[in-house]
Amino acid sequence: MKKIILIGFKDVLLVFRDPAALVMMLLAPFLLTVGMGFVTGRFSGSTSSGLSEIPVVIVNLDGGELGNSLVSVFQSAELDELLVPTVLSDTLSARQLVDEDKAAAAVIVPAGFTASIIPAAGQDPGSEVMKINLYLNPGRPTSAAVVQSIVDEFVGRVELGRVGGEVAILQLMKNGLIGQDSAALRAAGELAGKDLASGENSQPLITLNKTSQGKGTVDFDILAYMAPGMALMFLMYTVSYGGRSILVERSLGTLPRLLVSPTSTTQVLGGKVLGIYLTGLAQIAILIAASTTLFQVRWGDPLGTIVLVLAAVFGATGWGMLLTAVSRTSGQAANVGTTVMLIFGILGGSFIDTSNLPVWLQWVSKITPNAWGLDGFSTLATGGSLADLGAPVLALLVMGAALFGAAVLLFNRSSIVER
């Protein structure tokens, strides 16, 4: 046992003395976590995503009640943090700002928009439908979609008022409750329409009760998902790097030398595995400590976090051993290790939301320790505890054991660890 521990610690020290390895193990996941923190708005105080202060240009050529009302919506205090509205009088200048990527969208309210919906006394609304023009910036798809949804909601309310007024009048007329007097008609229609459009006298008929996944009222910290996502991805680099040390020692001749000493093959292999496992644990522990200290990441249940980290590193170590067993040279192991790291990263959810992947690909992702690990970290971040981690922890342990078994078989067959 002492020999296994000695070999293991020797390997850990060697890894932590290699600046190139430290760059990939610690610096890369840390910097990428910071970058993802910016994207998700974690460092800018946003509650949902990185979106805030969206520049939008409004050109109100209408000047009527509805055009002015839309401008007020964009300038309202409610949207103060989300939008930075600029009112211009020139359509071409507004479009130019979008073309130059200085605005996410231009909202152009055409002349006669109000009159086409609420005709003035004695005027015919006309048959031409006046449309608000939304000139969207394709380089800012999310911001443009936000602006579009605001305009859609406004137009929806206007349309509700228009149809409401029209239906109310037609029904009153049809049932002989009012005469053909145009002033009376107009007054009734406007009253009905404004009531509906303002929503002041009518409660929403359908309520949408929203809940986020998780237990109780937990303040979800997106970095508690992003940080382990990056850490788990680069953990795959660490375990393949550790596995490579077996091939490097073999090619340098230090492995045969070790094996002529009174040290068994099992002890050597056990020591190597222990070294990889301890290196992985140290890597994740350092990243967790750094993100907790610097960014106050809320990881959730501490006991659950510890058990999950132990299991995730075990599962990843199994992959590291298997990759070593199937590689012939350390260079080959490095290439395969980096490839697997990147593929597991994208499949496991380190880069993208895997729920939008096809279902068959979501099942394929289950072979990665990243997917199970992130599943567990998400459970903890949303208020779960150790008791809720049964599936991911078990899956990671089974994965590690099965892969380790397969690696031992392959090692025996290829006689890598042999005198």
Partner 1 sequence: MKKIAAIIWKDTALRFSTPAEWLFFLILPIIFTFLLAGGAPSGEDDPRIRLTVVDLAGTPLSGELLKALEASPSIQPVTLTLAEAEKRFDQRQISAMLIIPASFDLEQLKAGTAALDYRQQPNNLNAQAAERAVQTAIQRTGSAVQIALNAVQQAESVQPFASPAERQAYYDQSFALAQETIDQAPKRVEISQAEDKNPVLYDPAVNASAGQLLTWVFIPLLGLSGVFAYERQQGTLRRLLTTPTEKATFLLATILGQVLTALVQISLLITFGALALKINWGRDLAGLAVIMVAFTFAASAMGTALGTFIKSESQASGLSIMLGMVMSLLGGCWYPLELFPEFVRRLVQVLPTTWAMQGILALALRGQGLVDILPQAGVLMGFAALFFIIGIWRFRYE
Nearer to partner 1, 356 or 415 (CB): 356
Identify which of 289, 275, 278, 276 has the alpha carbon closest to the alpha carbon of residue 237. Answer: 276
Q: How far is the CB of 394 from partner 1 (least distance, A)?
A: 14
Our CB check for partner 1 shows the closer of 261 and 355 to be 355
In the bound complex, what is the minimum distance in angstroms from residue 6's beta carbon to partner 1?
A: 25
Nearest to partner 1 of 268, 287 (CB atom): 287
Residue matched to tokens 């008022």: 161
Cα 116 from Cα 130, distance rounded (Å): 6
Residue 271 region by backbone torsions, left for phi larger than 0, else alpha for psi between -120 and 50, else beta? alpha
Structure tokens that stand for 102 in this block: 């200085």
User: What's the closest the beta carbon of residue 208 comes to partner 1, in angstroms?
Assistant: 5
4 versus 341: smaller Cβ distance to partner 1? 341
**Cα separation of 323 and 55, whole Å?**
49
Say if CB 196 and CB 167 are below 8 A apart. Answer: no
Q: Report H helices in 219-366.
A: 223-252, 254-260, 265-295, 302-326, 330-348, 359-364
Task: Indicate the residue among 384 and 417 with the shorter CB distance to partner 1.
Answer: 384
The minimum distance between CB 316 and partner 1, in angstroms, equals 18
Task: Decide whether 41 or 63 has the Cβ nearer to partner 1.
Answer: 41
Distance, in Å, from the CA atom of 284 to the CA atom of 231, rounded to the nearest integer, reads 6
CB of 58 to partner 1, least distance (A): 14
> Which of 270, 351 has the CB closer to partner 1?
351
- Indicate the residue among 326 and 408 with the shorter CB distance to partner 1: 326
How far apart are CB 99 and partner 1 at their closest, in Å? 7
In the bound complex, what is the minimum distance in angstroms from residue 39's beta carbon to partner 1? 5
Minimum gap (Å) between residue 408 Cβ and partner 1: 25
Nearer of residues 53 and 80 to partner 1, judged by Cβ: 53
**3-state DSSP assignment of residue 54:** strand
> What is the rounded distance in angstroms from the CA atom of residue 406 to the CA atom of residue 397?
14
Q: Kindly tell me which of 267 and 291 has the beta carbon lying closer to partner 1.
A: 291
Q: How far apart are CA 134 and CA 342, in angstroms?
A: 39
Q: Encoding tokens for residue 71?
A: 């401008």
We find the least distance from the C-beta atom of residue 393 to partner 1, in angstroms, to be 15
At its nearest, how many Å lie between partner 1 and the CB of residue 2? 31
**Whole-angstrom distance, CA of residue 188 vs CA of residue 23:** 73
Q: Which residues contact 309 (CB under 8 A, 6 or more apart)?
A: 281, 284, 285, 288
Segment (H or E) for 86 = strand 83-88
Report how far residue 155's alpha carbon sits from residue 61's, in angstroms, rounded to the nearest whole number. Answer: 16
Contact 314, 395 (CB under 8 A): no
Query: What is the C-alpha separation between 265 and 337, in angstroms, rounded?
Result: 24
Strand order, beta sheet including 54-60: 83-88, 54-60, 105-109
